[in-house]
Structure 1
Amino acid sequence: MFAHVVALYRALGTPAIEDGVISYDGQQTPEIVDALRMCDNLPAAYGKFEHRSVEGDALEIEFRLPSNESGRFYTNLSEFVARSGSLGKGQFPSNVYIIELRWADCDDAEPPTIKALRRVCRLIELLSLLAIGVDKDSSPDGYNLFFALPPDGAKPPRTFLLPTQVDVRVLDYELRHLSLLEEILNRKNENKAHLSERKLMIRMAVASVIEKFESEPNLFVVIVREWKEVLATYRANLQTYVYSFSFERVRREVAQAEIDYGTKLSGVLGDIAGKMLALPISFAGLVVLNNTTSPFEGFILVLGLTVVSVVLFAILHNQTLQTERLLHSFNVVFDDFKDKIKTYPPKLQGLLEITIGQVERQGRTLTKTFCLLKVLSLLPVAGALLLALIKYWEGFLWVLVTTISIVFSAPNVDPIFLSP
């Protein structure tokens, strides 16, 4: 319906409006005839003809334009912003015509200033969803939005009031990246990780800007003007949070891995600590072997020391393999950290380097320790053989000679003796 009124106004040549009435005295045109026909049965709320006469092709019209929710005409954008209270609540009015812009909301195309004003309305809607509290009733022309800053050191927590008072000056600034706020406040994203933290960060960014310019009379104009700073503060806080969160997680993982692998490597040596007590006992067996007078007893002692040495050597070799497996597992886990070490803060880089170095040093120490213990585990059997060889040299020599004689005299044995 309002579109018909706009069409008539344009067909009449956009005459001046005096006390809400437009007048026309001139020739009829096809456009005027068509517009009059569409307005013949308009409801009174959309305007009415106060005078209308036709004499031949001459036409006189006085038409009272609507001035209610069904339609309003504004001289310019400033008047439109000043008289449209719904803008302060994020609601763009309908059935409006702005003479300066030659634009009605029923037109297909919108001037850049109208698009900018719609973005301001959208910002008010989003801020009302973001605020920690909203007073919708105190003012007919806007909301009172509440934002807060947490305590910071000696500074106590503070609460700020943001009246959404729209001024034509908001059109002097560009509002960009409202999609970021829309994404944060979209209910479809409620289950995304850290969404509540992101809401808190952008609330704090808005509150910090308000605190910075608290003395200015129109804080909403300040928010529009400083919107880039709001986004920059939010992104900086988000980056700090994400880095702190991920680095804190990495730090915990590194510390836990250091404890786990350190404990396991220490356990490798602890597992055989009791078994290694057999090593000094084995050395005591050399004293018994030295004091024995029976070759048979000596043979039993040598055999026993040999078994002990072989068992200890096998245990130590198994623990060496276990240490290698643990170190390989450690390297597999920490390869990912090593690849990303340059992306971490200096403190975390230092922690990683210390952890990797300590575990590698512990592994090398264990390896050297097991090598030394392997050598020591062979000393009892080596000492027993050497002592037995010295003590029973004549017996060893007799056995050796007898063995050699049997080997070399074997072809001279009578075949009949060997046959069944």
Structure 2
Amino acid sequence: MVDVSKFAEAYRLLGRPALVRANAFDFRASAFNPEINSAAEKLVTSNAGRFDEFLIDGVDVNPSDFNACSAWSTIEFSFVLDTSGTVPIFKNFDQLMARSKSFVRTEVPTSFYIIDENILSSEEPLDHRIKTLHALCRLIVYLADLAHFHDEKESSDEYKLVFVAEDLAKGERAITLYPYLDRKLLDFEISTELVDSLQMSNLEESPQLFKERSIFRATLIEYLAGQFGGKERFKFLISTWSQFLILYGNNLSTYLSGFSFHKAKQEVANAQLTVADQMSKVVSDISGKVLSIPISLAVVIAISKAESVLESSILVLGILITSALLAETLAAQKLQYERIKHSRMIMFTSHQQKAHQYPEDLRSYIKDSISALTANEKKLRSSLLVLRILAWAPAIVAATLHSCIFQKDLLEGFDKLAFFVRAILAVFTCC
């Protein structure tokens, strides 16, 4: 396994000799230095390449037999870097970019070394170009997860990502991106937090992930619709990434707001139906009972045909009891009405407080709902008041009629009752 950091350390100890060829450098020293021994040993163990020649005091030796304790007067060797593609050591960024075809399908190696720039990617502080390179490779991998289709052929010269519009109302559209790496792209700043959060692996943590991925694709198509050519689209996207994120944020906010407003409208509709249903139950509960009013009035006729004051008195008492029970029932319904009114106020208060945040149609809808329910409440309250008055009408009519018809008998009865009371009081007084 290649140890890039060990190669970088050895190369620096040797004073970073220039490459005589694209992948080889020569080194010569005529004075003993233990650091050179350490560097040569690290080159051997780094597995980054091979020694073409290794001379100690003019004698060709096996590099693997050389160690930090070896003594010498002169040393010279030629080291050739492995060019098989598995060694992440590059002469410059241009050579690194030449390997970009393999990097667009997977993330760039975590550790690599740029010889001319003396940049080791695992060392802090990171060069901004290294940060951008890692971000670009992650972004391409994330975009592949978001794309509807992507080219799986590793031998293909171009890596294709296809995004298809899902909103048929806007017409079926699709765009193709050809992700690639170029040295010029390393000058831009890329953040991958958003696309990272949209990966399918986050589905359990984000229930709205499918909709957010759909909004991302729609935004991507909207943003790149005016650009032509897969590579040109990709370059435009990278160079204006921050603007794309703003557009996505606006589209997502629009969707969430619309979803929130739709939910609020449903809540208002449900609240309106609930309150109306409860008021309807109040009316239903009293509709059967108020029939006792005309029945009681019909009984009043029987009072006029009563043959004795006792018979008439029993009829009047029955009507009084009926009126009292009906009045109590209506009083209970009035309390129920008050509870319904209070519940309505609680249901709509939160929406009224947030009404300034709602669109005009939703504000108008809430206002109309409250007005309609308030009108129903006023009508129900008036009906309950009138019915409570009417509930006593039969009793009042019956008592009046009874007293008019049997006035003489009632007066005699009252006199006898008064005499009886006085007699009892006299007895108690004497005692």
Tell me the TM-score normalised to structure 2 length: 0.84
Residue in 2 aligned with 1:267?
281
Cα offsets for 1:172-218 (capped at 9, x unmatched): 21112x12222221525435321111111112222222213235743
Residue in 1 aligned with 2:103?
87
DSSP 3-state at the match of 2:393: helix
CA distance in 2, matches of 1:410, 1:217: 118
Residue in 1 aligned with 2:422?
408
Read off the aligned partner of 1:160 and give its amino acid letter: I
The equivalent position to 1:31 in structure 2, one of 20, 35, 41, is 35
Read off the aligned partner of 2:335 and give its amino acid letter: L
Read off the aligned partner of 1:383 and give its amino acid letter: V
The equivalent position to 1:113 in structure 2, one of 123, 129, 132, is 129
CA distance in 2, matches of 1:139, 1:210: 27
The equivalent position to 2:51 in structure 1, one of 48, 51, 55, is 48
Point out the more displaced range, 144-153 or 366-375.
Answer: 144-153
DSSP 3-state at the match of 1:62: strand
Structure 1 position 174 matched with structure 2 position 186? no
Residue in 1 aligned with 2:67?
none
Does the 8 Å contact 2:319/2:394 carry over to 1?
yes
Residue 192 to residue 60, structure 1, CA distance change in 2 (3 Å): closer
DSSP 3-state at the match of 1:63: strand
DSSP 3-state at the match of 1:89: coil
Does the 8 Å contact 2:91/2:116 carry over to 1?
yes
Q: Which runs of 5+ in 2 are unaligned?
A: 59-71
Residue in 2 aligned with 1:18?
20
Read off the aligned partner of 2:80 and give its amino acid letter: R
Structure 1 position 243 matched with structure 2 position 247? no
Structure 1 position 67 matched with structure 2 position 83? yes
CA distance in 1, matches of 2:148, 2:178: 14
Read off the aligned partner of 2:218 and give its amino acid letter: M
DSSP 3-state at the match of 2:85: coil
Residue 209 to residue 169, structure 1, CA distance change in 2 (3 Å): farther
* TM-aligned CA deviation for residue 291 of structure 1: 4.8
Does the 8 Å contact 1:71/1:95 carry over to 2?
no
Read off the aligned partner of 1:195 and give its amino acid letter: L
Residue 139 to residue 226, structure 1, CA distance change in 2 (3 Å): farther
Task: Give RMSD over aligned pairs.
Answer: 3.1
Percent identity between the aligned chains?
26
Residue in 2 aligned with 1:125?
141
Does the 8 Å contact 2:51/2:77 carry over to 1?
no
CA distance in 2, matches of 1:119, 1:7: 26
DSSP 3-state at the match of 1:218: helix
Residue 125 to residue 402, structure 1, CA distance change in 2 (3 Å): same
DSSP 3-state at the match of 1:248: helix
Residue in 2 aligned with 1:98?
114
Structure 1 position 324 matched with structure 2 position 364? no
Read off the aligned partner of 2:285 and give its amino acid letter: D
DSSP 3-state at the match of 2:83: coil
DSSP 3-state at the match of 2:225: helix
Read off the aligned partner of 1:97 and give its amino acid letter: Y
Residue in 2 aligned with 1:157?
172
* TM-aligned CA deviation for residue 118 of structure 1: 0.9
Structure 1 position 144 matched with structure 2 position 142? no
CA distance in 2, matches of 1:273, 1:292: 31
* TM-aligned CA deviation for residue 99 of structure 1: 2.9
CA distance in 2, matches of 1:72, 1:255: 64
DSSP 3-state at the match of 1:244: helix
Q: Which runs of 5+ in 1 are unaligned?
A: none
The equivalent position to 2:271 in structure 1, one of 257, 260, 267, is 257
Q: What is the total number of aligned residue pairs between the two structures? A: 414
Tell me the TM-score normalised to structure 1 length: 0.86
Cα offsets for 1:284-337 (capped at 9, x unmatched): 333443354533332233223223322322232232223223333333444444
Structure 1 position 371 matched with structure 2 position 373? no
Residue in 1 aligned with 2:247?
233
Read off the aligned partner of 2:324 and give its amino acid letter: V
* TM-aligned CA deviation for residue 106 of structure 1: 6.4
Residue 96 to residue 246, structure 1, CA distance change in 2 (3 Å): closer
CA distance in 1, matches of 2:182, 2:330: 84
Residue in 1 aligned with 2:69?
none
Point out the more displaced range, 52-61 or 295-304.
Answer: 52-61
DSSP 3-state at the match of 1:15: coil
Residue 197 to residue 216, structure 1, CA distance change in 2 (3 Å): closer
Does the 8 Å contact 2:100/2:180 carry over to 1?
no
Residue 269 to residue 101, structure 1, CA distance change in 2 (3 Å): same
Residue 99 to residue 231, structure 1, CA distance change in 2 (3 Å): same
